[in-house]
A and B are shown apart, each in its own frame.
Chain A
Amino acid sequence: MSDLALKIEHVSKQYRLGAIGGGTLKGDIQSYIARKKGEEDPNSKIWSDAAYRKNEKFMALDDISLEVKKGEIVGIIGHNGAGKSTLLKLLSRVTAPTTGKIGINGRIASMLEVGTGFHPELTGRENVYMNGAILGMTKAEIDKKFDKIVEFAEMEKFIDTPVKRYSSGMYVKLAFAVAAHLDSEILVMDEVLAVGDMKFQDKCLGKMGDVSNQEGKTVLYVSHNMSTIKRLCNRCIVLDHGKKIFDGDVGEAIEIYSNNDTVFSNYHEFKKADYWEHYLRSVQMLNTTILNTDDCVFESGQNVECELELHSNIDIDNLRLRLEFSNATDTFTGMSCSNKISRILKDETKKIRFSFGTDMLSAGKYKVTYALYYANNLGQSTTVDLGRNANRICIKETPTEDKIIGDYRMGGYTRYPDITLLE
């Protein structure tokens, strides 16, 4: 027996676009005839005729190979649609891969959803047995663990009440407790920790760390929450459009994931996807260019000079610009506002030049969101247009004694003026 818990070899999962939507034999025959004739499928829902004519297939997972050793806690991250859940579904044998092979050593307990098989009419006790059995335990095994499960879930008082009377938090706590106490060698989890209160979430993370460190269990954990990934995992895999693009160190993986969609370009045209639709857009931002760089890399403290092109549908003289900075993990770190922009006439297209300082930004990657707003005399402000993540800039710091911040994790944060030590 090898020391591997899991081996995935050249696994792909393919779905046919729209084809399953028909659902009746008639629909399928229609689709079939339409395809033969090369006509538009009358049953395709979203996908255009062009996509259908090619009989397009969608690869949810594309040739993934992966090995997981026993006792590892592996995080799996990626954007929506990257294939994370499909991968977990294949691992937990809910559906079979289109090609490839998966080898598993030991039992897998999958928690693609907490409380699978919980029946509202049954009591907590009955459901613990039910849930445990669904996850692959025998009655004798559950008997042995029952007290521990109830204790972990903090449910001693309510265990003989039907779960339909439970609050959603109680429900989830009990369900997690069952899964965490399974005798399975591999634990597969899909963002189940997004529930429960802070204290319980903390307890769950601790428990998961324990099952891996002390009991030698293997954990596969999918989440969008980078801080739990960082805390829990010792290896991380990044998926993108069904492909594995990174496998290794957690910090690096998060960096890659966060900047996955980053194109460092000094020119940005505001597109529909950047806008928030509920703004009036009486003044529209058209594009913005960073003037003093090509690669968007700045030394900390260096000024960034930009040119923003606007088109106005109204005559306005109190317009202002606000820049909002967020770091690689999409956490807002600060903002900066301009003075009034000089008068713009109705139907005028105008270029505005401005510059902003970067001395408050520590080393890291930032996204800059543009917002146009105006304020009246009473101080009430109205945002007229907003373009998300228009600029992406990278701040470099030459390490000198003054600039040392002491912890690499603090990269990508605003650095406030230094602490003055009072003698």
Chain B
Amino acid sequence: MSTEETQVFNDSDFDTVVETKNGILDIDVKEIWKYKDLMLLFVKRNFISQYKQTILGPAWAVVQPLLTTVVFTIFFGNVAGLAPGGVNSFVYYLCGNIFWQYFSSSMSMVSHTFTSNSNIFGKVYFPRLVLPISTVMTNLISLGIQFCFFIIAWTVFMFIPGYTMHPNWTIALLPLVIIQLALLALGCGIIISALTTKYRDLAMLVSFGVQLWMYASPVAYPASLFNGGILEKIYWCNPMCPAIELIRSSFLGNGVASFKPEFWGISWIVTLIILTIGVLLFNKVEKTFMDTV
């Protein structure tokens, strides 16, 4: 034994070398890709387990945005009169709600990655990023169901005279917006999850913060409420704002909401910055979070 132990440790002799800490930029994308099957299985697991033993099954995905939209239509639309004219306020709110819902639920689910999966993480290794990514993908399925529902409602109201809807070419940008929402939710979520492995305090803020964020985004009211001045510019820097406005203007028409390409560009930059910070932070804690979680 003693002679063997004096051998030098040669990294190239081994497939994997486990060291003390990750380098800050030590992100193995190839490894995550290798676990793509696991990612899909997590998506399947999350989705199946969510709706097992329910009568309505995945139809439940529609119920929540439907009820929220009804409430919004009554209170923000009819009572407060915040909905823009010339468009059916139900469709208007439904459109904003389903995308906001996708973002907010993905973000809060991702933010619990470490705490709710510590039993798996504590027993076996796989690239930790697999789980948050699959969470975001699972929610895409719900978004798909909700989007179909929206399309049905949209088509129906299209043929009801009195409401004018002017869909335009920017509908083609929809996949990009959805990707943006997914990345933003992933980024915000993993930042929170990385910061909450040791201190849970931040987790308390999440559900509350999501609500505040909603009121800072054009979900319950049109962005045109902010008209002119520095306030409007600040408001539009919220990455959720150009995204939701873009979706609304492409389905409902330019007068209802406005698409501002320059702010959409900024929101993409913000999204990518948040995502990068998130991945770096996540990468830093993933190796030893088991000791503190």
Tell me the complex Cα distance, A76–B196, Å. Answer: 35
Pairwise interchain contact A7-B14, C-beta atoms closer than 8 A: yes
Q: For the complex, is B63 an interface residue (Cβ under 8 Å from A)? A: no
In the complex, chain B residues whose CB is within 8 Å of the CB of A106: 15
Complex A-B, nearest 7 residue pairs according to Cβ-Cβ distance, in ascending order: A103-B14, A93-B125, A133-B38, A102-B18, A96-B287, A104-B16, A121-B49
Q: For the complex, is B262 an interface residue (Cβ under 8 Å from A)? A: no
Q: For the complex, is B75 an interface residue (Cβ under 8 Å from A)? A: no
B65 CB to closest chain A CB (Å) equals 24
Binding site for A on B (CB under 8 A): 1, 4-5, 9, 11, 13-21, 34-35, 37-38, 41-42, 44-45, 48-49, 52-53, 119-126, 198-201, 287-288, 290-292
In the complex, chain B residues whose CB is within 8 Å of the CB of A96: 18-21, 287-288
In the complex, chain B residues whose CB is within 8 Å of the CB of A89: 290
Tell me the complex Cα distance, A100–B20, Å. Answer: 7
In the complex, chain A residues whose CB is within 8 Å of the CB of B13: 1-2, 4, 7, 103, 105
Q: Name the residue on A nearest B12 (C-beta).
A: A1
Q: A106-B15, A122-B49, A130-B41 are in contact. Are A65 and B126 (CB under 8 A)?
A: no
Pairwise interchain contact B120-A130, C-beta atoms closer than 8 A: no
Q: For the complex, is A112 an interface residue (Cβ under 8 Å from B)? A: yes
Tell me the complex Cα distance, A11–B195, Å. Answer: 28
Q: For the complex, is A117 an interface residue (Cβ under 8 Å from B)? A: yes
Further 10 A-B residue pairs, CB within 8 A, beyond A7-B13, A89-B290, A99-B20? A4-B14, A92-B124, A96-B288, A98-B20, A101-B9, A101-B18, A105-B13, A116-B123, A130-B41, A138-B34
Pairwise interchain contact B201-A25, C-beta atoms closer than 8 A: yes
Pairwise interchain contact B123-A105, C-beta atoms closer than 8 A: no
Q: For the complex, is A52 an interface residue (Cβ under 8 Å from B)? A: no
Identify A102's interface contact among B17, B38, B53, B120, CB under 8 A: B17
Pairwise interchain contact B15-A105, C-beta atoms closer than 8 A: yes
In the complex, chain A residues whose CB is within 8 Å of the CB of B290: 89, 94-95
A260 CB to closest chain B CB (Å) equals 20
A111 CB to closest chain B CB (Å) equals 8
Residues of A69-109 contacting chain B, CB below 8 A: 89-90, 92-106, 108
In the complex, chain B residues whose CB is within 8 Å of the CB of A119: 45, 49
Identify A139's interface contact among B14, B37, B120, CB under 8 A: B37
A313 CB to closest chain B CB (Å) equals 49
Q: A104-B16, A133-B37 are in contact. Are A110 and B21 (CB under 8 A)?
A: no
Q: How many residues of A contact B (CB 8 A)?
A: 52
Q: Name the residue on A nearest B1 (C-beta).
A: A247
Tell me the complex Cα distance, A23–B37, Å. Answer: 35
Q: A112-B123, A112-B124 are in contact. Are A9 and B9 (CB under 8 A)?
A: yes
Considering residues B124, B125, B290, B291, which has the most beta carbons from chain A within 10 angstroms of its beta carbon? B124
Pairwise interchain contact A110-B9, C-beta atoms closer than 8 A: no
Q: Name the residue on A nearest B9 (C-beta).
A: A9
B-contact bits for A115-127, CB 8 A (1 contact / 0 none)? 0110101100010
Pairwise interchain contact B291-A103, C-beta atoms closer than 8 A: no
List 29 interface pairs A-B (beta carbons < 8 Å), by A numbering: A2-B13, A9-B9, A20-B291, A67-B5, A94-B122, A94-B125, A96-B18, A96-B287, A97-B18, A101-B19, A103-B9, A103-B14, A103-B18, A104-B16, A105-B14, A110-B124, A112-B122, A116-B119, A116-B124, A121-B48, A121-B52, A121-B53, A122-B45, A122-B48, A130-B41, A133-B38, A134-B120, A139-B37, A162-B52
Q: For the complex, is A376 an interface residue (Cβ under 8 Å from B)? A: no
Q: For the complex, is A386 an interface residue (Cβ under 8 Å from B)? A: no
Identify A97's interface contact among B5, B11, B20, B45, CB under 8 A: B20
B-contact bits for A305-321, CB 8 A (1 contact / 0 none)? 00000000000000000
A214 CB to closest chain B CB (Å) equals 22
In the complex, chain B residues whose CB is within 8 Å of the CB of A93: 18, 125
Tell me the complex Cα distance, A136–B126, Å. Answer: 7
In the complex, chain A residues whose CB is within 8 Å of the CB of B21: 96
Pairwise interchain contact B18-A117, C-beta atoms closer than 8 A: no
Q: Name the residue on B nearest A135 (C-beta).
A: B124
Q: Name the residue on A nearest B5 (C-beta).
A: A65
Tell me the complex Cα distance, A94–B126, Å. Answer: 9
B247 CB to closest chain A CB (Å) equals 34
Considering residues B9, B48, B123, B287, which has the most beta carbons from chain A within 10 angstroms of its beta carbon? B123
In the complex, chain A residues whose CB is within 8 Å of the CB of B16: 103-105
Q: For the complex, is A113 an interface residue (Cβ under 8 Å from B)? A: yes
In the complex, chain A residues whose CB is within 8 Å of the CB of B35: 133, 136
In the complex, chain B residues whose CB is within 8 Å of the CB of A4: 13-14
Pairwise interchain contact A103-B48, C-beta atoms closer than 8 A: no
Tell me the complex Cα distance, A65–B21, Å. Answer: 19
Q: For the complex, is A336 an interface residue (Cβ under 8 Å from B)? A: no
Pairwise interchain contact A134-B38, C-beta atoms closer than 8 A: yes
A244 CB to closest chain B CB (Å) equals 10
Identify B121's interface contact among A28, A94, A108, A129, CB under 8 A: A94
Pairwise interchain contact A24-B15, C-beta atoms closer than 8 A: no
Considering residues B18, B52, B287, which has the most beta carbons from chain A within 10 angstroms of its beta carbon? B18
B218 CB to closest chain A CB (Å) equals 34
Q: For the complex, is A32 an interface residue (Cβ under 8 Å from B)? A: no
Pairwise interchain contact B45-A24, C-beta atoms closer than 8 A: no
In the complex, chain B residues whose CB is within 8 Å of the CB of A103: 9, 11, 13-14, 16-18
